């Protein structure tokens, strides 16, 4: 890939004839950081498996749909020298033979796997018409399809966004700023993970910009021309965008590894699979001690660094460090000029303090959107440059007892 890596920063030189093969599955925010960081040792052969030839900025997909920003970046600008990219899809990890089986029929031998497959949208099959008529937005292909469909919808036609979480809010805000007529349908309260003052700030911006919000409303049916709510109300919609709920790929369970009820790989606090110490996980698809962190880029990149460090420690015969993670804040963008930044306790629960308006919007753009790409490139230039922690960790307070999540065999 790029030649930006500095050989002087590559440490851990042992017998170069004893090459350790590490396969990183998933080239998102966590996987890209992990792949770059593994270059701290020269005696590792690093292979990154990703289904697309380009990195997708998932945090910008709502902007991509609205036509205000692109969301794909070439990996040649993100990966350091020595990282081999294979454009393919992992379909199974054979832990007995230590081989990652690919959709093309190929198989990659490994000594260690970094499992960073990320998350995806879930459109419930139980809701009539949802799979047929609703447009998810969680992946690049989803966003491409939605962007093409949106181009055929007249500007004044109504659009329904199902989901009042941060993705739904940002999507609605981006579209209304483009002159679209948008209604949000939220099964819970709007921005349910925010404090009441911050939620009111979000609601005020949406109302002031013409977005109608239906809170505590459930979708009973999705039609080609709108949605039917549980109470019988019919909301017209030339387009229905589905942002409610996320899932994860089934690769772990398909490989015989234990997961939580959502399908996230169960690990210990070093991010090592509870079934196989050759598999280390990071990002949205991991549940350390059965207690997953919030699905977010904010968590994914430090987890990617932590996963790489765990692999490096095991190669060196050292004891890996346990996860030391804490949250500080969460920011939602409201179009191109505003936002709301919710401050939180270390355990990611909100406090009644927030920052709104233009300043929060600038923070979202500079730190929340542009920052992750800068982080990946920084790790490509100098492996080990970014910290693995996000503050004083709440993880040390967790009990070593059985995980909270239901374990799936």
Check residue 11 and give its pLDDT: 46
- Per-residue pLDDT, averaged over 228-246, amounts to 96
Predicted confidence (pLDDT) per residue in 328-375, tens digit: 899 999 999 999 999 998 888 999 999 999 999 999 988 877 889 999
- Per-residue pLDDT, averaged over 119-125, amounts to 91
Q: Do 280 and 385 sit in the same domain of this protein?
A: yes
| Domain boundary, last residue among 194, 209, 244 | 244
Q: Element (H or E) spanning 288, and its range?
A: strand 286-288
Q: Do 47 and 149 sit in the same domain of this protein?
A: no
Residue 406 belongs to a domain:
no
Q: Do 87 and 64 sit in the same domain of this protein?
A: yes
Residue 5 belongs to a domain:
no
Q: Do 322 and 256 sit in the same domain of this protein?
A: yes
Q: Do 214 and 265 sit in the same domain of this protein?
A: no
Predicted confidence (pLDDT) per residue in 67-118, tens digit: 999 999 999 999 999 999 999 999 999 999 999 999 999 999 999 999 999 9
Check residue 368 and give its pLDDT: 77
Tally Cβ neighbours within 10 Å of residue 337.
12
Q: Element (H or E) spanning 170, and its range?
A: helix 166-177
Q: Do 80 and 222 sit in the same domain of this protein?
A: no
pLDDT class for 6, splitting at 50, 70, 90? very low
Lowest mean pLDDT among 16-25, 128-137, 210-219: 16-25
Residue 124 belongs to a domain:
no
Q: Domain tally for the chain? A: 2
| Domain boundary, last residue among 224, 244, 264 | 244
Residue 91 belongs to a domain:
yes
CATH number of the domain to which 145 belongs: 3.50.50.60
Q: How far apart are CA 108 and CA 97, in angstroms?
A: 10
Q: How far apart are CA 218 and CA 44, in angstroms?
A: 51
Q: Kindly write down the DSSP assignment for every residue of 246-261, as one continuous string.
A: EE--SHHHHTT--B-T
CATH number of the domain to which 288 belongs: 3.50.50.100
pLDDT class for 246, splitting at 50, 70, 90? confident
pLDDT class for 4, splitting at 50, 70, 90? very low
Residue 338 belongs to a domain:
yes
Residue 193 belongs to a domain:
yes
Tokens for 297, please give them. 């880029």
Q: Do 215 and 268 sit in the same domain of this protein?
A: no
Predicted confidence (pLDDT) per residue in 377-405, tens digit: 999 999 998 876 554 344 555 543 344 43
- Per-residue pLDDT, averaged over 252-269, amounts to 97
Tokens for 157, please give them. 């036609």
- What is the 3-state composition of the chain as percent helix, strand, coil, each rounded to the nearest 5? 30, 30, 40
Q: Do 237 and 256 sit in the same domain of this protein?
A: no
Q: Do 280 and 329 sit in the same domain of this protein?
A: yes
| Domain boundary, last residue among 244, 275, 302 | 244
Q: Do 236 and 295 sit in the same domain of this protein?
A: no
Tally Cβ neighbours within 10 Å of residue 123.
20
**Of the candidates 351, 290, 302, which has an alpha carbon nearest to the alpha carbon of residue 326?**
302
Q: How far apart are CA 266 and CA 276, in angstroms?
A: 10
- Per-residue pLDDT, averaged over 300-311, amounts to 95
Tokens for 95, please give them. 């832990």
pLDDT at 168 over 70: yes
Q: Do 151 and 97 sit in the same domain of this protein?
A: no
Containing structural domain, residue 55: 20-119+248-400
pLDDT at 13 over 50: no
Residue 166 belongs to a domain:
yes
Tell me whether residue 319 is exposed, middle or buried, using C-beta atoms within 10 angstroms of its C-beta: 0 to 12, 13 to 18, 19 or more: exposed
Check residue 408 and give its pLDDT: 41
Q: Do 239 and 351 sit in the same domain of this protein?
A: no
More confident call, 62 vs 368: 62
Q: How far apart are CA 387 and CA 252, in angstroms?
A: 27
Residue 81 belongs to a domain:
yes
């Amino acid at each position: 890939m790029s030649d930006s890596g500095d050989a002087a920063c590559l440490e851990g030189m042992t017998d170069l004839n004893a090459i350790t093969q590490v396969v990183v599955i998933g080239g998102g925010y966590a996987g890209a950081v992990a792949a770059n960081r593994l270059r701290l040792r020269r005696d590792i052969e690093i292979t990154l498996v990703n289904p697309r030839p380009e990195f997708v900025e998932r945090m910008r997909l709502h902007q991509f749909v609205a036509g205000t920003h692109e969301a794909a970046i070439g990996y040649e600008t993100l990966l350091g020298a020595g990282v081999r990219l294979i454009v393919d899809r992992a379909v199974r990890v054979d832990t007995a033979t230590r081989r990652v089986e690919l959709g093309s029929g190929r198989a990659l031998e490994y000594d260690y796997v970094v499992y960073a497959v990320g998350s995806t949208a879930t459109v419930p099959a139980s809701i009539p018409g949802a799979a047929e008529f609703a447009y998810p937005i969680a992946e690049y292909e989803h966003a491409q399809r939605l962007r093409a469909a949106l181009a055929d919808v007249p500007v004044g036609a109504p659009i329904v966004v199902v989901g009042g979480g941060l993705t739904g809010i940002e999507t609605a805000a981006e579209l209304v700023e483009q002159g679209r007529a948008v209604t949000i349908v939220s099964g819970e309260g709007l921005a349910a993970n925010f404090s009441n003052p911050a939620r009111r700030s979000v609601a005020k911006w949406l109302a002031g910009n013409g977005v109608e919000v239906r809170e505590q409303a459930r979708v009973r049916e999705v039609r080609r021309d709108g949605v039917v709510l549980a109470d019988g109300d019919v909301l017209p919609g030339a387009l229905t965008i589905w942002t409610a709920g996320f899932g994860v790929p089934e690769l772990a369970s398909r490989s015989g590894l234990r997961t939580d009820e959502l399908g996230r790989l169960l690990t210990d606090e070093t991010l090592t699979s509870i079934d196989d110490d050759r598999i280390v996980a990071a990002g949205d698809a991991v549940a350390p001690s059965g207690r997953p962190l919030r699905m977010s880029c904010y968590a994914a990149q430090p987890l990617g660094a932590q996963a790489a460090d765990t692999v490096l420690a095991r190669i060196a015969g050292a004891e890996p460090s346990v996860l030391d993670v804490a949250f500080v804040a969460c920011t939602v963008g409201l179009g191109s000029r505003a936002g709301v930044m919710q401050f939180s306790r270390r355990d990611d629960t909100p406090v009644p303090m927030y920052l709104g308006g233009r300043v929060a919007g600038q923070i979202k753009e500079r730190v929340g959107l542009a920052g992750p790409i800068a982080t990946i490139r920084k790790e490509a230039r100098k492996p080990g440059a970014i910290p693995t922690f996000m503050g004083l960790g709440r993880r040390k307070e967790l009990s070593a007892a059985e995980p909270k999540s239901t374990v799936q065999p």
